[in-house]
Structure 1
């Protein structure tokens, strides 16, 4: 098949970890890479956000089309909607000039969905949509701090109604689509995110700590991801304060992420807020902000940690817990969204309420006092990640969905994981609301 992946603000070429570069960038890059490995022709259509980018870049067998739409610089995603008309016009004309027409368009995020709808309407190309985050859920949690315009809700309603398939990344995502958007469960396919075993796998903890210069005999928790308030890093900092100042157990925290390679409060204001919380809790000597790190190095950080902690207020899926599990590191995660799906409570880690530092602290103390349990959870997490959450299986499943909506017979090439997820969604949605 010839497949168009539209991802207006999240380029697969961007460095993950900054404010508007995270899970969606990783998702699009890995889906494109795996689909190309399976022999499909893949174009990723993303907004050109740098002045020197060529129209066409290459990514492991796929093409990245850097679409001219708006200024050729970084623009916060909350301000991109006015440029989507120009983006859509360019993509339609680009598609018409291609020698082979696209068989399917897969829109990622609601603004990409507008482009997908234009391709569907003008060129009769079937549309698959992954929202990655739902506007009504975001508004519920962020309130007046949600910078997206209210038009987002009508656009999402239209996409839910007119897409040939809507991808839910976890059972909670499916339940939200049904309850908040009146989605037809028969047109929802459940497809999670994944990890690449070549990129994330276990290595010796002592060797990883030695390479990073970390102390070999400390109990270390890792937090890794975008430095924005909704990720709940303040909860982890306060939990470390409780461990060290109240519960009588020394725990160190290393925080990876930000808009620069150094932990710069000007480049990343959230780091300044978190440092103030660490001072307030009396644990500045136990909380280490490292700044952004290249993806090629992240495996070392996951493996060097005793436990990975992620406590967002809400999370449409969350790729970092999978990466930690793939490195045999147990996860303490907020009991929300995709984390509730990926982390098996008591088996691969612990689920805790969001915004609850004491629950996180009790989890950290319990794991510090029970090293054999840490080992068992790490091994179970690796097994679960390999069984349920690989990018190869994600691409297999998506290939089957693309073929179904495009009415193309590719049964002979469908991998063992390919399936129609509608039945899974009905079961999952029922379980989520029970």
Structure 2
């Protein structure tokens, strides 16, 4: 048995959090002892496995600010993670063998205070590529943090990434780090989806005609490019509305945290966009749907609209494909490794015209939803199972322990 401590900044409901929770569950089921440490854990806004007793979570340092007047968010994220790391090393009393760190590498040198422990860093995407630098002051500030990110990432014993796309970006971003990262694809625990597989939209309280329903499932953040779904749907209504107007419907669902200003603002922006396009009566907005609702939506949708550009991996297309729903996605980033265009969905350009054209093929029947859905389901089972994910992660953990024994 290996004792694995997880250090994560905020155990919310995003894709990074889903991977961390899955990794902890995978190692626990392999017989290892796992414990999650985080700077923020809201029991009303988290994955159920972190509150129902399956995983032990310790939250420390939430009294530290997240920003200074809306700025310096990256700096405070670093400070909060360092605080969590120091708590783990100096005050937790946990005799850990491996630390699984993700998102923020700045805490790694402090975890090194426990000399015998191995450090695994999961790089969802280089942090320095997730922000803009419009001013000289911001460039200087980010230069310091970027240098720190590269130096501390280099100190990890093992670095994992979520896709070959992210691996290529990692190599370009951190040229001084000679060793290449390994790819550990996120996975699905099929049981979580199978237990809701018989639910209909009516069963989960949604009165939506699913005959021609399209679904977008992503957090309400501007980088997710959700306007593309609205604009594409508007064009589709113009093109085929006369024949299918009564059945066409779009659902925009996703993670929403009322504490996050961007979520609140962007949600309002999207509603206003739908209203200005004249389609607000044909669009349903859903904030943070429960798993049972999400599964019912994915099963009922004609296809999933996945709008982010250069997404690092993208777990939602994999979820949709497992449930037999084809995916229309931007032809970039992680979806190029999960979606097989023409077989399990359509990869296309990041324009409303291209998306609307792809959507029209499902409305008219030119794209065979059932055949694509079957191929999509089989692809997920073959390549993204929780069992495969668990075996790969366990192999990595055991390898780190073997390295420690040899020293």
TM-score range, shorter chain: 0.7 to 0.9
Name which of 81, 86, 109 aligns with 1:84: 81
| 1:5, distance to aligned residue in structure 2 (A) | 1.4
Counterpart secondary structure, 1:337: coil
Selected match of 2:307 from 286, 304, 311:
311
**What is the alpha-carbon distance in structure 1 between the residues aligned to residue 43 and residue 386 of structure 2?**
31
Deviation, structure 1 residue 224: 1.2
Find the residue that maps to 1:62 and give its secondary structure.
Answer: coil
> Cα distance 1:170–1:73, how it changes in 2: closer, same or farther (>3 A)?
closer
CA distance in 2 between counterparts of 1:220 and 1:202 reads 23
**Residues 6, 116 of structure 1: 8 Å contact kept:** no
Name stretches of at least 5 consecutive residues in structure 2 with no aligned partner: 45-49
1:121-270 equivalent positions in 2, closer than 5 A: 121-139=113-131, 142=132, 144=134, 150=142, 151-182=144-175, 186-201=179-194, 208-211=200-203, 212-216=205-209, 218-246=211-239, 248=241, 250=245, 251-259=248-256, 268-270=264-266
Unaligned runs of 5+ in 1: 17-21, 411-434
2:29 maps to 1:37? yes
Q: Which of 90, 104, 109 is 1:93 aligned to? A: 90
Q: 1:315 to 1:152 in 2, by over 3 A?
A: farther
Relative to 1, partners in 2 of residues 1:186 and 1:134: Cα closer, same or farther, differing over 3 Å? closer
Cα distance change, pair 135–266 in 1 and its aligned pair in 2 (3 A): closer
Q: Distance in 2 between matches of 1:358 and 1:254?
A: 19
Say if 1:340 and 1:266 are closer, same or farther in 2 by CA, change over 3 A.
Answer: closer
Q: CA deviation at 1:337?
A: 1.8
Equivalence for 1:272: 268
Per-residue deviation, residues 402-423 of structure 1 (Å, max 9, x unmatched): 221232699xxxxxxxxxxxxx
Pick aligned residue for 2:359 from 337, 360, 364:
364
What are the Cα deviations for residues 332-376 of structure 1, in whole angstroms up to 9, with x where unaligned? Answer: 11222212211111111111233x111110110011112771111
Structure 2-normalised TM-score? 0.84
Asked whether the 8 Å contact 2:106–2:149 carries over to 1, the reply is no
Structure 1 segment 41-52 matched on structure 2, within 5 A = 41-49=33-41
Give secondary structure in 1 for the equivalent of 2:9. Answer: coil
Q: CA RMSD in A?
A: 3.2
Greater shift after overlay, 156-165 or 223-232? 156-165
Describe the superposition over 1:48-87 as per-residue Cα deviations: whole angstroms up to 9, x where unpaired.
Answer: 45699xxxx7665432121235349999864423333332
Cα-to-partner distance string for 1:80-105 (whole Å, 9 max, x where unaligned):
2333333222121135x33xx32211
Give, in whole Å, the separation in 1 of the partners of 2:196 and 2:83. 47
3-state SS in 1 of match to 2:125: coil
Contact 1:220–1:252 (CA under 8 A) maintained in structure 2: yes
User: Structure 1 residues 34 and 387 mapped into 2: Cα distance closer, same or farther (>3 Å)?
Assistant: same
User: In structure 2, what is the Cα distance between the partners aligned to 1:371 and 1:185?
Assistant: 48
Quick one: distance in 1 between partners of 2:306 and 2:54? Answer: 33
How far apart are 1:266 and its partner, in Å? 10
Corresponding residue SS for 2:129: helix
Please give the alpha-carbon distance, in whole angstroms, between the structure 1 residues aligned to 2:388 and 2:250. 33
Give the counterpart of 1:350 among 346, 350, 373: 346
The answer as to whether partners of 1:195 and 1:391 remain within 8 angstroms in 2 is yes
Alignment partner of 1:286 is 2:285 = no
TM superposition score normalised by structure 1 = 0.79
Counterparts of residues 97-116 of structure 1 (less than 5 Å): 97-98=93-94, 101-110=95-104, 113-116=105-108
Q: 2 CA distance for matches of 1:59 and 1:120?
A: 32
CA contact (8 A) 1:222 1:255 kept: yes
Aligned residues: 385
Q: Is the 8 A contact 1:171 1:190 kept in 2?
A: yes
